Amino acid sequence: MSSEVVVSVSNLSFKYKGSDREALRNISFEVHRGETFVIMGPNGAGKTTLCYILSGVIPNMYGGVRRGRVNVLGFDPWDQPIYETAKYVGILLQDPESQLIMPSVFAELAFGPANLGVPKDEILKRIKRVLEIVGLEGYDERHPRELSGGQKQRVALGAVLTMMPDLLVLDEPTSQLDPIGTTEVFEAIKRLKEMGITMIITSHKTEEIAYIADRVLLLYDGEVKAIGRPEDVLSNVDLLEEIGVKPPAVASYFRKINIGDSTKPPIFLEDAVKLAKKMIQEKKLVVKNVEFRNGEVERKEPIIEVKNVTFIYPTEPPVVALKNINLTIYEGEFVGIIGQNGSGKTTLAKNIVGLLKPTKGKVLFRGEDVSKYTVGELAKRIGFVLQNPDYQLFTLSCEEEIKFGLKNIGLPEEEIEARIEEALKLVGLEHLREKYPFALSFGDRRKLAVATVIAMRPEVIILDEPTTAQDYRGRYLLADLAEKIRRKYGTTIIMITHDMDLVAKYAERLIVMANGDILADGPTRKVFQMRDVLEKAFIKPPQITRFAQSLVEDGVNPEVLTVEEMLEVLSPSEE
Amino acid sequence: MRVVEYIKADTFIHRLNPISKLLYTLLTLIIVFISTFTYDIIILLLWLATALILWRVAKISIRYFMSFVKILAGIIIFIIVVQGFMYRGETPLFVIGHYRIPGGADIGVFTYEGLMFGVMLSIRVLTAVSVLPLFTMTTPYLRLMESLTRLKIPFKYSFIFVAGMRAVPMIQETWNTVVEAQKLRAFDIDRMNIFKKAFRAYIPILTPLILLLLRKANDMQIAIESRAFGASTKRTFLEDTGFHKEDYIFLAVILGLFAVTVYLKLFLANEIWDTVIAFITRLLF
């Protein structure tokens, strides 16, 4: 690797206009040519702000006060219009949808270089090359609407690449994608790394990003907490936990068994397996014979029954989203539903809450056909928490927000007051009841959205993708709340998610969907052992489960779901 | 609507410069505009036939035309029925009663003249609609944008138009999600009466919608500006924006047809129409 410095930042501080808090404080680092530099940190740490400063979005679009020095390839993006910076810095954002502006892939990829006046032949050459890199050969004439999320994000990446930037800034490029889309985008990033492109990437996906990072910077509350090789930074489990970045599961495991201060916990699965095998041989680790409970609650009454449900979207051509689904959910269960986008998870949920009516078959709620009820009537009994709270919040105070639904179902005033009180307390927002919902943090807005649902006292709560665009701590927020409510009221919880760690931690029962079909349905730890089913659905079990699975020959029970369970089956020998 | 979107192919029509096609569309609309008498059916049919021949040349399936007819069927029947009864015709075809409106026709009588006038109006609609896919299904946006730039229309303006088109499905999707989100809170806008809707109901939907769209618009702006939109350099043209032999041939034919049509309209259409009708009547009876 050459040592040419591409980005040099020293003592950078930044405060947004109208804010009294510094978003960045005394940041210093350098990025060298060809390096993949990863910035990690919880939401609100300043990652996006840093990306915006490096690409000139700040101050051209968002104003503020800056101190310190920034040098990107000999220029300071602060001093020039974005289109000048754009000649050598490309930026990719989270949301693939809003970044595609042209009506075909070809026009999208040509947009940047054509703006710069690059000759036509050269543009055509670049487009051909870039389509290869992002793996979309032959997609030239496609309309963005015909593409999946992962494909869209790769087009957006390609559109930046055709400008041949010297530096690529990728701001959480996979946070809104499903596992397939994430893999596709990471594949493209790996190819760019091999080509020697300098990249700055922000991400929450520790386990995946560890493989491509050359160096990692930990950002917390606007300050640099650590900077160095991934093996050094990401193995610092205590620091990661403290600032709210997910440590690799295997690193957490080895941190807990205390392998001596001189050795760092491994961050890669392969290294962890090697180390574990060695330690088993040396009798430092002992395999214990533990049988796990299957987590099957004694099944009480069926609460939701889906009977022979087929659902076809009446588009042109029609899309069969559910194929003859049969499913019974019992009272008090915590069920996880996993599968790629387009596998039918959300369609199934919408059929259950009455937003969609089955094309064939029926859905029963406590034995009664849900088509008898309106969506509103059903909402009293089956609550649905959306991915993004901003699709529903609109009032001037948290109280009002909760009141809205209760008024719609026609409750008396004193009952409404009591329920608002209770719901705010449950989610921990009592102190903010008068606050304007949009002034709350994203996490608090989501809590408020949950409060609006639980105030209706539903018997079932459905969580739709409770982790999208969330950091390590935020991911567990909604599931934690749901679990709390379940314990208190016996509410049935259905959770739709891409997050396997979340499923492993909370769901007792797991349903795997693909192409409108249910591929597997059973206790979570059993389902994670069904390799061929998971492969078909492009799903990987949590890292800690894969760790246990790799040690089956050594007698380790592979049905492990959490680091704590791993410690039970493979613990340090007591000497 | 999907039906009218660009489909890649290499036909005579696809090769034409978008400006030639725009001119043809414009001429057709002029013809539609000036055809106001029943006997103008003759010239409308001439241009409808031309459009359909060009459909064949452009290899656009006639199935699409049928789907247009299907969509418009309701309107066409409505026009014919209304005109049949309302038009002050002299030849009654059938009678359902006598309701004479003061100073007007007897609207209980369905007349032959009314029927024909209704048919003419329907063909007008169909002719106007038939040129639309000929343009949109054979012209990539980028080529249109760049051709318009040649006509000294700034790229910025055509870009705003195209970016707006891209935003429409996004807005629609956001709207649908917000409506669903509020339905899940027992707020059912479909069940409200129109007054409630107008005064109260849209607030819970419009507030989140506008805030969400503002955020997306910010992202969009970053995506646009960080790709050097607005750079002072001269933009590269990627599509063929020149006029070729095909364009000259096409324009000559279309302008010729236009001239002939105007002559027909002014001097002969009325006579031809009467002859044709007389001929058909003799054949039938």
**Among A69, A5, A13, A71, which Cα is nearest to A37's?**
A5
By C-alpha distance, the chain A residue nearest B1 is: A316
A80 in a structural domain: yes
Picking from A113, A145, A409, the nearest residue to B236 by CB comes out as A113
pLDDT class for A262, splitting at 50, 70, 90?
Answer: low
Please indicate, yes or no, whether residues A538 and A554 belong to a single structural domain of this protein. no
pLDDT at B1 over 50: no
A301–B contact, CB cutoff 8 A: no
Cβ atoms A206, A177 nearer than 8 A: no
A290 in a structural domain: no
Angstroms from B266 CA to nearest CA on chain A: 44
Picking from A98, A117, A386, the nearest residue to B235 by CB comes out as A117
Q: What is the pTM of this model?
A: 0.84
- Cα separation, B266 vs B264, in Å, equals 5
> Which residues 7-66 in chain B show a CB within 8 A of chain A?
8
Please indicate, yes or no, whether residues A184 and A223 belong to a single structural domain of this protein. yes
A475 in a structural domain: yes
Mean of pLDDT values over A378-399: 90
Picking from B178, B222, B226, the nearest residue to A391 by CB comes out as B178
Collapsed DSSP state (helix, strand, coil) of residue A352: helix
A452–B contact, CB cutoff 8 A: yes
Residue A113: asked if its preceding bond is cis (omega within 30°), the reply is no
Rounded-to-5 percentages of helix, strand, coil across chain B: 75, 5, 25
Q: Do B233 and A81 touch (CB under 8 A)?
A: no
> Chain B contacts of A112, Cβ < 8 Å?
227-228
Chain CA centroid to CA A138, Å = 30
Task: State the total domains in chain A.
Answer: 3
Q: Residue written as tokens 């190819």?
A: A191
What pLDDT is stored for residue A61 in this prediction?
A: 87
**Among A88, A281, A95, A115, which Cα is nearest to A173's?**
A95
> Which residues 229-268 in chain B show a CB within 8 A of chain A?
229-231, 233-238
On the CB side of A553, how many CA atoms lie within 13 Å of its CA? 6
Q: SS3 for A154-167, per residue? A: HHHHHHHHCCCCCE
Q: Do A375 and B183 touch (CB under 8 A)?
A: yes
pLDDT at B158 over 90: no
Please indicate, yes or no, whether residues A185 and A257 belong to a single structural domain of this protein. no
Range of the domain at A272: 253-282+547-572
A487 in a structural domain: yes
A382-385 β-sheet, strand order: A382-385, A460-464, A492-496, A334-338, A509-514, A517-523
Positive or negative torsion for Cα A439, A440, A442, A447: negative
Please indicate, yes or no, whether residues A551 and A539 belong to a single structural domain of this protein. no
Per-residue model confidence as pLDDT tens digits over A339-365 = 988 889 999 999 999 999 999 999 999
- Cα separation, B143 vs B159, in Å, equals 12
A194 in a structural domain: yes
When mean pLDDT is compared over A467-481, A521-535, B137-151, the highest value belongs to: A521-535
What pLDDT is stored for residue A249 in this prediction?
A: 94
CATH code where residue A311 lies = 3.40.50.300
On the CB side of A442, how many CA atoms lie within 13 Å of its CA? 14
Q: Do A114 and B238 touch (CB under 8 A)?
A: yes
Pairing of strands A492-496, A198-202: unpaired
Please indicate, yes or no, whether residues A266 and A389 belong to a single structural domain of this protein. no
> Which residues 77-106 in chain A show a CB within 8 A of chain B?
81-87, 89-91, 93, 95, 97-104, 106
Per-residue model confidence as pLDDT tens digits over B239-250 = 888 899 999 999
A82, A85, A352, A404: best to mutate for the B interface, most B CBs within 10 A: A82
Please indicate, yes or no, whether residues A141 and A272 belong to a single structural domain of this protein. no
Instruction: Compute φ and ψ for A329, nearest 5 degrees.
Output: -110, 130
Mean of pLDDT values over A235-264: 87
What pLDDT is stored for residue A212 in this prediction?
A: 94
A292 in a structural domain: no
Angstroms from A378 CA to nearest CA on chain B: 8
B219–A contact, CB cutoff 8 A: yes
- Cα separation, A533 vs A550, in Å, equals 18
Percent of chain B with pLDDT over 70: 94
**Among A175, A165, A137, which Cα is nearest to A55's?**
A165
Q: Do A98 and B216 touch (CB under 8 A)?
A: yes
Picking from A98, A408, A409, the nearest residue to B223 by CB comes out as A98
- Cα separation, A459 vs A490, in Å, equals 8
**Among A229, A312, A265, which Cα is nearest to A563's?**
A265
B142, B191, B227, B232: best to mutate for the A interface, most A CBs within 10 A: B227
Per-residue model confidence as pLDDT tens digits over A164-217 = 999 999 999 998 888 888 999 999 999 999 999 999 999 989 999 999 999 999
A297 in a structural domain: no
pLDDT at A539 over 60: yes
Per-residue model confidence as pLDDT tens digits over B31-85 = 999 988 888 888 999 999 999 999 999 988 888 778 888 888 888 999 998 888 8
Please indicate, yes or no, whether residues A330 and A272 belong to a single structural domain of this protein. no
What pLDDT is stored for residue B166 in this prediction?
A: 75
> Chain B contacts of A104, Cβ < 8 Å?
6, 140-142
Beta bridge partners of A69: A10
Q: Which residues of A475-500 are buried (b: 16+ CB within 10 A; e: fewer)?
A: bbbbbebbbebbeeeebbbbbbbbbb
> Which residues 480-509 in chain A show a CB within 8 A of chain B?
none
Collapsed DSSP state (helix, strand, coil) of residue B208: helix
Looking at per-residue confidence, does A297 or A28 come out higher?
A28
Mean of pLDDT values over A485-502: 92
Burial of A19 (0-12, 13-18, 19+ CB in 10 A): exposed
Please indicate, yes or no, whether residues A535 and A552 belong to a single structural domain of this protein. no
What pLDDT is stored for residue A322 in this prediction?
A: 94
Give Cβ neighbours of residue A133 (< 8 Å, ≥ 6 apart).
Answer: A158, A161, A188, A191, A192, A195
Beta bridge partners of B14: none
Per-residue model confidence as pLDDT tens digits over A115-171 = 999 999 999 999 999 999 999 988 888 888 788 888 999 999 999 999 999 999 999
Give Cβ neighbours of residue B152 (< 8 Å, ≥ 6 apart).
Answer: none
